[in-house]
Amino acid sequence: MTATAHDVLPEVSGAPRRLSVLGATGSIGCSTLDVVSHHTDAFDVVALVGNTNIELLAEQARKHRAEVAVTADETKYEDLKAALSGSGIEVAAGTQAVVEAAQRDADQVMAAIVGAAGLAPTLAAMREGAAIALANKECLVCAGDLFMAEAKVQGTDVVPVDSEHNAIFQVLDTRNLDQISRIILTASGGPFRTWTREQIATAGLEQALNHPNWDMGPKITIDSASMMNKGLELIEAFHLFPVTVDQLDVLVHAQSVIHSMVEYEDGSVLAQLGTPDMRTPIACALAWPRRIYSPSPRLRLEEVATLTFEAVDNDRFPSISLCLGALSTGKTAPTILNAANEIAVAEFLSKRLAFLDIVRVVELTLEQASRVGMIAPMACLDDVRAADEYGRSTAAEMAATL
């Protein structure tokens, strides 16, 4: 089922909804559990999956009385086991254990593992019949056709968690899908919105991580600074909603109050507004079609006073055009783009790559992939893995030359 099915989830009433959180120790996972902590009678936590932050994962598992806690890092098994000693909570570690945690009996799974590593466990949860609250971009960017086709086969409900896609989900008129003119994603513009290209070229790590509105993990924050996140979100929107590439647009909106808009043929533009706090779309996704309380700050438009908008400057932020080009090319191009970006961002975070070279590495990787015929049809998950591995290895080679 697509993200346009607005009767997607059973009501949060009666028996508690069984919830697993993949990526529990990340920004989205922590915000999810914060929302859940305000509705302890409505949710039973089944599985919590984290990576290397064992102290936090154990604390979360104890607080929410999870059935199982899993670290993706096999070397951390004994640490997690010791941290949860005497709690009665099951402990596991490793890639396969993450997939098995996703397969636990749950009504809903928050898919918030960052990167391509989130694809296999999210698909596993889907195949077990869980509704998916989707916060992992890569499921759609890397394998959008396969992922949504599988959702249709399984009858799985997919509710987007990203603030932009959740906004569209809320204002999309399912009775008039053929009357959509445009889907408009808003972008804060990140920390470099007013910088010249020359200034951006000198940007350091601390400056790139200084997002003006959102509190996010480092990878997503760097993607916001380059506006690669918005390009990736356009790819997501293409798979989530019934639109063509030409119907997708981006508008820079510095205040991050309007999270996205849908324009219809009669000239109406419907928008979803809220404070820039991920707990709002998380609460929406967890409870849909009902509404539940979120601890996010309330929006006071009289305090915001002014909302501004501007077009994207493609010279300063070429990532959006790059993503649209990959989307138009189709096949494995978006998979390779995403893999290359993950490597390039990691190189920048390690201070081995200049900021503007992030997008340059992605561009060079796609050019090389096209030359050697690596942009190919995607028939199965193995094709996704092969394209992902190629994108990573090639991006690493390209980064080493810059």
Single out the residue in 109, 144, 161 at which a domain terminates.
Answer: 161
What one-letter code names the amino acid at 3?
Answer: A
Whether residue 151 is found in the same domain as residue 177: no
Domain match, 96 and 227 both? no
Same domain, 24 and 47: yes
Residue 2 lies in a domain: no
Residue 259 has pLDDT above 90, yes or no: yes
- Specify whether 155 is located in the same domain as 180: no
Of 4-18, 194-208, 318-332, 367-381, which range is least confident?
A: 4-18
Inform me whether the pLDDT recorded for 48 exceeds 80: yes
CATH number of the domain that 115 lies in? 3.40.50.720
Q: 264 and 209 in one domain?
A: yes
What pLDDT was estimated at residue 168? Answer: 97
- pLDDT of 114 reads 84
Domain that holds residue 377: 330-401
> For residue 2, is pLDDT > 80?
no
Has residue 283 been placed in a domain? no
Predicted pLDDT of residue 6: 38
If one counts the domains in the chain, the total is: 3
For residues 56 and 111, state if they share a domain: yes
Let me know whether 141 and 180 are in one domain.
no
Whether residue 212 is predicted with pLDDT greater than 80 in this model: the reply is no
- Written as six digits, the tokens of 305 are 């006073």
Q: Which of 176-180, 209-213, 389-393 has the lowest mean pLDDT?
A: 209-213
Over 70: is that where the pLDDT of 45 sits? yes
- Res. 10 pLDDT band, cuts 50 70 90: very low
Residue 318: inside a domain: no
Answer yes or no: do 155 and 171 share one domain: no
Q: Which residues contact 360 (CB under 8 A, 6 or more apart)?
A: 402
With 80 as the cut, is the pLDDT of residue 267 above it? yes
Question: What's the CATH code of the domain at 348?
Answer: 1.10.1740.10
> pLDDT band at 215, cuts 50/70/90?
low
Same domain? For 148 and 232 the reply is no
pLDDT on residue 14: 65
Which two structure tokens, joined as six digits, stand for 104? Answer: 């636990």
Residue pLDDT, tens place only, 58-73 = 999 999 999 999 999 9
* Within a domain: 223: yes
Structural domain contains residue 320: no
Q: What is the mean pLDDT of residues 284-306?
A: 93
Compute the mean pLDDT over every residue in the chain, rounded to the nearest whole number.
92
Q: 89 and 224 in one domain?
A: no
In-domain check, residue 211: yes
pLDDT tens, position by position, 339-386: 999 999 999 999 999 999 999 999 999 999 999 999 999 998 899 999
Written in H, E and C, the secondary structure of the chain is: CCCCCCCCCCCCCCCCEEEEEECCCCHHHHHHHHHHHCCCCCEEEEEEEECCCHHHHHHHHHHHCCCEEEECCHHHHHHHHHHCCCCCCEEEECHHHHHHHHCCCCCEEEECCCCHHHHHHHHHHHHCCCEEEECCCHHHHCCHHHHHHHHHHHCCCEEECCHHHHHHHHHCCHHHHHHEEEEEEEECCCCCCCCCHHHHHCCCHHHHCCCCCCCCCHHHHHHHHHCHHHHHHHHHHHHHCCCCHHHEEEEECCCCCEEEEEEECCCCEEEEECCCCCHHHHHHHHHCCCCCCCCCCCCCHHHHCCCCCECCCCCCCCHHHHHHHHHHHCCCHHHHHHHHHHHHHHHHHCCCCCCCHHHHHHHHHHHHHHHCCCCCCCCCHHHHHHHHHHHHHHHHHHHHHC
pLDDT confidence tier of residue 190, bands split at 50, 70 and 90 = confident
With respect to residue 198, please indicate whether it lies within any of the assigned structural domains.
Answer: no
Residue 181: pLDDT band with limits 50, 70, 90 = very high
* pLDDT bucket at 217, cuts 50 / 70 / 90: confident
How confident is residue 138, by pLDDT bands cut at 50, 70 and 90?
confident
Asked if the structure places residue 284 within a domain, the reply is no
| Model confidence at 7: pLDDT above 90 | no
End-to-end CA distance of the chain: 44
Whether 61 and 23 share a structural domain = yes
Residues 174 and 125 reside in one and the same domain: no
Give pLDDT, residue 289.
87
With bands split at pLDDT 50, 70 and 90, how would you rate the model's confidence at 214? Answer: low
**For the chain, what percent of residues have pLDDT higher than 70?**
96
